[in-house]
Amino acid sequence: LTLSEEDRQGRNCFVAWCEAAGCRVTVDRLGNIFALRPGKAPDLPPIAAGSHLDTQPHGGRFDGVFGVLAALEVLRTLEDHGFRTEAPVAAVVWTNEEGARFAPSMMGSAVFAGILDLADALTTTDRGGVSVSDALEAIGYSGSAPCGGRVLGTFFEAHIEQGPLLESEGKTIGIVTGAQGMTWLEVTVTGQDAHAGTTPVDLRRDALLGAARMVDAVHGIAVHHGPEARATVGVINALPGSPNTVPGAARFSVDMRHPASATLERMVEDLRARCQRIGGKLDLETRVEQVEYTAPVSFDAGCIESIRSASDLLGYESMEIGSGAGHDACHIARVAPTGMIFVPCAAGISHNEEESADPADLEAGCNVLLHAVLERAL
């Protein structure tokens, strides 16, 4: 989990490896890490690559970490060959991409890109009341560099696909053209606590019964809006949370995604309408609050071409693909030319300990990243 003791250990390891590869490391106020390998022309903006080191509570090992280690491998390869690029080359670690401990997700890149206010990010707390600011201090990654305002010549992110398409199509490299839009909402349902033994069923205002029907409705919205639509309830709670009390309140998260912003907006409207209708029938009050919105993203045409020509040069089978997940690259695309490289992962499984990828595919992704970076940095 982000800003945990394990995160500290991973970050320290990365920093030590970058310094051993001849890089100068700086940390910004939100804990984003920049490892810079100087170029011949120090005034050129750096060609950067990277991703994130944090994970979900149940893993996995490749989501994010692959992109960070791929960037490190680029730096090491340049160092091993004594190769000096024109522009500096940088490896970047973005803080709290997952959002599993602190919402919103993609926090480090959001503040860097001016989408989220630094003060808002630092004062965000986890379920235990610990703030991002305190968590950064605790692991020694509250840096002194400003977060944002740093010019990047290009940003590339290598990542496992986290979906089944490359594997099922037999392709090694996914040339990512863009990412679907995403929104997070919080639904709060309020009824009345009551005794489970004495309160007749027709006299109840059972908030969890309403929430359960709304969870089913969320699924129905995804089905209704077609194969590209995604809608997920990942967190649910009933209050007061006692087996023999009819819950007077319930709360759940909704994650909805679609590549077209108009459709995503209709999905949100559907959610509001269906929740109100379900709540109304059960005499419940329902509040639907939108807590995060990321518009669909199209990546830079020049970066897409750099990735395509690197893949062709190396002889890998490739295909264009859209990203189902949000990534730091989606935020960075607002402030720098940005591209993403996908490699297959086993059965499309991610956010799970079973997440896995073929070393040969990971190597291919690193090679494409190296050549794409070289084309931009030479």
**Within positions 12 to 41, which residues make up the interface with its own copies, using CB under 8 A?**
none
Shortest CB 356 distance to its own copies, Å: 14
By CB under 8 A, the residues from 57 to 76 that bind its own copies are 57-58
CA atoms within 13 Å, Cβ hemisphere of 67: 28
Question: How many angstroms separate the CA atoms of 91 and 93, rounded?
Answer: 7
Sole window of 71-79, 145-153, 235-243, 367-375 interacting with its own copies (rule: CB under 8 A) = 235-243
Handedness of CA 351, 224, 252, 258 (dihedral sign): positive
Per CB under 8 A, the list member of 42, 146, 234, 280 interacting with its own copies is 234
Query: Per CB under 8 A, does 375 bind its own copies?
Result: no
Locate the DSSP E strands across the chain: 24-27, 33-37, 47-52, 89-94, 154-160, 173-179, 181-190, 194-195, 230-232, 236-239, 245-246, 249-258, 285-294, 297-298, 318-323, 338-343
Binds its own copies by CB under 8 A, chosen from 115, 215, 319, 346 = 215
Alpha-carbon distance of 103 to 291, in angstroms, equals 9
Q: How far is CA 47 from the centre of its chain?
A: 21
Q: How far is the CB of 362 from its own copies (least distance, A)?
A: 18
Helix (H, G, I), strand (E, B) or coil at 117: coil
Length of the chain: 378
Quickly list DSSP for 221-262: HHHHT-TT-EEE---EEEES--TTEE-SEEEEEEEEEESSHH
Please answer whether residues 48 and 90 qualify as being in contact, where contact means their C-beta atoms are separated by less than 8 angstroms: yes
Query: CB of 98: closest distance to its own copies in angstroms?
Result: 7
Q: Should residue 206 be labelled a site residue for its own copies when binding is judged by CB under 8 A?
A: yes
Q: Which of 99, 174, 191, 365 binds its own copies (CB under 8 A)?
A: 99
Q: How far is the CB of 75 from its own copies (least distance, A)?
A: 28
Among 38, 45, 114, 348, binds its own copies (CB under 8 A): 348
Q: How far is the CB of 351 from its own copies (least distance, A)?
A: 4
- What's the rounded Cα separation, in Å, for the pair 127 and 125? 7
**Cα separations in angstroms, 344 against 73, 170, 230, 323:** 19, 9, 20, 12
Smallest distance, Å, CB 378 to its own copies? 34
Task: With contacts defined by CB under 8 A, name the span among 64-72, 148-156, 349-357, 368-376 that binds its own copies.
Answer: 349-357
- For the bound state, the minimum distance from the C-beta of residue 213 to its own copies, rounded and expressed in Å, comes to 6
Could you tell me the smallest distance in angstroms from the CB atom of residue 237 to its own copies? 7
Residues 150-189 that bind its own copies (CB under 8 A): 161-164, 180, 182, 184
Stretch of 32-40, 130-138, 213-221, 306-314 lying at the interface with its own copies (CB under 8 A): 213-221
Contact 274, 191 (CB under 8 A): no
Return the residue of 170, 227, 315, 359 that touches its own copies, per CB under 8 A: 227
Q: Which of 27, 87, 93, 100 binds its own copies (CB under 8 A)?
A: 100
Please name which of 254, 293, 290, 259 lies closest in space to residue 115, comparing C-alpha atoms. Answer: 293
| First-to-last C-alpha distance (Å) of the chain | 37
Is residue 193 near its own copies by the rule CB under 8 A? yes
Q: Which stretch binds its own copies (CB under 8 A): 14-22, 55-63, 88-96, 304-312?
A: 55-63
Closer residue to its own copies, CB minimum distance, 84 or 277: 277
Q: Binding to its own copies (CB under 8 A): which residues in 274-333?
A: 323-326
Measured at the CA of 358, the angle between CA 353 and CA 361, to 5 degrees, comes to 130
In the numeric block, which tokens belong to residue 108? 């480090």
Reference 45, options 306, 340, 335, 365; nearest CA is 335
Q: Select the residue interacting with its own copies from 15, 25, 194, 346 (CB under 8 A).
A: 194
By CB under 8 A, is residue 357 in contact with its own copies?
Answer: no
Interface pick for its own copies out of 82, 129, 243, 359 (rule CB under 8 A): 243
346 contributes a contact to its own copies by CB under 8 A? no
